[in-house]
Structure 1
Amino acid sequence: MTIAHADYIAGMAKGLAVLESFDTQRQRLNATLAAERAGLTRAAARRHLLTLAHLGYLETDGSWFWLAPKVLRFSGSYLASARLPRAVQPTLNRLAGATGESFSAVVLDGDHVVIVARSGSALQAYGLHLGARLPAHATSTGRVLLAGKGRAEFSAWLKGRELPRLTGHTTVDARGFRALIEQVRQQDYCVASQEHELGVQAVAVPLRNMDGRTVAALNVVTTRERVEPRALQRDLLPLLLEAARELRPLL
C-alpha cells in the first residue's frame, strides 16, 4: 500500500524496524547492533529500545534488550481474528491426525514466508513453529507462492536479489531458480528436499480462493527417515491437493 508523505509517521516506522530486528539469529541486541539492523544511528536506536522497554515490548538488563511476552499480543490478535488461520486449522488437524505428519498453512511476506497455522507430530525442523519466518527461496511453500505471482511480478521480486545458501542443496543461481519456479508453476506443486535444513523435506500446494488467486500455501514437512522422497509425492501430495480443493470455497 502506498500512502501520501504527509500521512507517513517516520517514528513509528523506525520503532517497528527496531522491533523487527530481533529474530532467531539475534535474540538479544544492544543499541549498536539494533542500529545496524534497523538502519538507524546508535542514538536513535537506543531511544527506540528504551521506549519499547518502557512500553513493555522489550526486556533489558540495562545494556542488552530482548523481546518480552507482550509482543505476542499482535500475533494473538491476528490468529484470533484473521480468516485464513481459522478456516484452515480444522483441515490441518485432520491431515495431521490421519498421517502423523506436520502440516502448515503459510503466506508470503517479502523474501520470507510466515507460518500462520500448523498442526502435526512432534517433528520440529529448526524454526518450524507458528509465526516462524523462513526464506522463501529455500522452502516448498515459498516457491509455490512465488509461482503464484505473474511472471513480470516474479521477475521484479527476483531482480538483484541474493539467494543465500542454507545447505549444500539450496538453489542459489538466479537462472536455475527462475527455471525451478516455472516448473512449479506448470506442475502446480513443489517438492523441496534438504534445501532449508539437512534431513528435512517438504511438499507444498497453492491455496486459492474462488477467484483463482493464490492466497497461501499448504505443505507437509517430514524427514527422510520417516518418509522416503518418492512416498512423499505418492502418498502425501494427493492429500494436499484434495485439501486445497476442499478449502477453496472458504478462502
Structure 2
Amino acid sequence: MGRATGHVEDSRAARELAGISPSDYSEALERGLAVFEAFKTPSAQLTQADVARTLDLPRATVRRTLVTLTHLGYLAVEGRTYHLTPKVLDLASAYLISNPITRILQPLCERVANEFGVSSTVAVLDKADAVMIARALPEQSVTLGVGLGYRVPGPQSALGRVLLSVLDEADRRERIIASLTDMQEEDMEKEVSRIQNAIAGAASDGFSYVADEVDLGFHSVAVPLLRWDGAQIAALNVGTTPDKISAVEMTGPVRARLQEIARQAQPQLI
C-alpha cells in the first residue's frame, strides 16, 4: 500500500469517530468512488497525474484504480487522458429506478416547467449541496447540459435553503462553512450569519427566493416537498431570468402555485 495522504488520514480519523472497524471498510472502493468525483471538472479529460493531484493520492494507487475502472467500462482512455463513459449513468439510474418518489417527481417537474415556461427542478440535500433528482424544461427550450445529478451550493441556492431549513442550527452552520472558501474569518462569520438568517426565513415562510447568488442574472423560488406523513424529503423550484418572470411574480403567484402543487403531490410521496 502506498503512503497515506492527508485525504486518507482524514477519512480514517472520521471512520474511527464513527466507530467503523478497519476490517469492515474497503479503502480501495472509497478511492475508486473518489476517482469519479475527480472528473467533475469543465474539461472532464484528466491524466493520471491530474487525478492524483486532485485527490491527493499516490500515483500508483490512482493508476490501479484508473486501469480497473477502464477495464470495467466506466472510463475510456485516449493517449494519456481519461474520461467518463456513458456507463456511469447506470449507477445513477439504479437510484432513480429503485426510488419510487423520483418516478412521481419527474412528471411533476415537466408539468411545472410547461405551466410556467421555465425550468423546474427537484433536489435533495447531499452534504452542503442541493443535488437534482428530477428536472424539466418547457417544450420549446433546449437543455444546456445541466441535468440529473447536477449540484448547486445549498447555502447559496433557493433549493438548498429550503432543504437546509429542517436541520438544526449547528448542522446548518457546518454545511454553510463547508460551502465557503477563500474568505477571511471576519467576512465568513458575516456571511454565515446572513445565510443562517435566510435559511431561518425559508423555514418560517415556507419558501426561499434567491437572486444573483448562484448565477448572475438568474433567480429562483423553491418550496418544500413533504412526504405523506409531513416529513420534508426534497425541494421543488422554478428558475429563470427576471425578464421572463419578475421578482414580484416569483415571490407572489408563482410561489403560491408551487406550494399548491406541492400540497397536491404530498399524498403520493410515500
Residue in structure 1 matching 2:200, options 159, 165, 182: 182
Residue 260 of structure 2 aligns with which residue?
242
Residue 65 of structure 2 aligns with which residue?
48
Q: Distance in 1 between matches of 2:204 and 2:73?
A: 48
Give SS of 1:115's match. strand
Q: Distance in 1 between matches of 2:201 and 2:190?
A: 16
Q: Deviations over 1:83-142 (max 9, x none)?
A: 221122222222222221211110111121111111222265x76322211211221101
Q: Shift of residue 182 of structure 1?
A: 1.3
Paired residues for 1:214-225 under 5 Å? 214-225=232-243
Are residue 137 (structure 1) and residue 158 (structure 2) matched?
Answer: no
Give SS of 2:94's match. helix
Q: Shift of residue 66 of structure 1?
A: 0.6
Q: Is the 8 A contact 2:74 2:86 kept in 1?
A: yes
Residue 31 of structure 1 aligns with which residue?
48
Structure 1 residues 128-137 or 232-241, which shifts more? 128-137
Are residue 151 (structure 1) and residue 151 (structure 2) matched?
Answer: no
Q: Distance in 1 between matches of 2:61 and 2:194?
A: 41
**Structure 1 unaligned spans of 5+:** 166-170
Q: Distance in 1 between matches of 2:80 and 2:259?
A: 50
Q: Shift of residue 185 of structure 1?
A: 1.4
Q: Distance in 1 between matches of 2:172 and 2:67?
A: 39
Q: Shift of residue 249 of structure 1?
A: 1.7
Residue 16 of structure 1 aligns with which residue?
33
Q: Is the 8 A contact 1:137 1:163 kept in 2?
A: no
AA aligned opposite 1:202:
S
Structure 1 residues 204 and 238, CA, compared in 2 at 3 Å: closer, same or farther?
same
Q: Distance in 1 between matches of 2:43 and 2:22?
A: 32
Residue in structure 2 matching 1:67, options 84, 89, 92: 84
AA aligned opposite 1:53:
T
AA aligned opposite 1:14:
R
Q: Deviations over 1:125-177 (max 9, x none)?
A: x763222112112211011111121223323434x535259xxxxx9811211
Q: Shift of residue 189 of structure 1?
A: 0.7
AA aligned opposite 2:215:
E
Are residue 198 (structure 1) and residue 220 (structure 2) matched?
Answer: no
Structure 1 residues 93 and 162, CA, compared in 2 at 3 Å: closer, same or farther?
closer
Q: Shift of residue 26 of structure 1?
A: 4.3
Q: TM-score, normalised by structure 2?
A: 0.83
Equivalent pairs: percent with the same residue?
Answer: 34
Residue 115 of structure 1 aligns with which residue?
132
Q: Is the 8 A contact 2:128 2:178 kept in 1?
A: no
Q: Is the 8 A contact 1:204 1:218 kept in 2?
A: yes
Q: Shift of residue 28 of structure 1?
A: 1.2
Q: Shift of residue 34 of structure 1?
A: 0.7
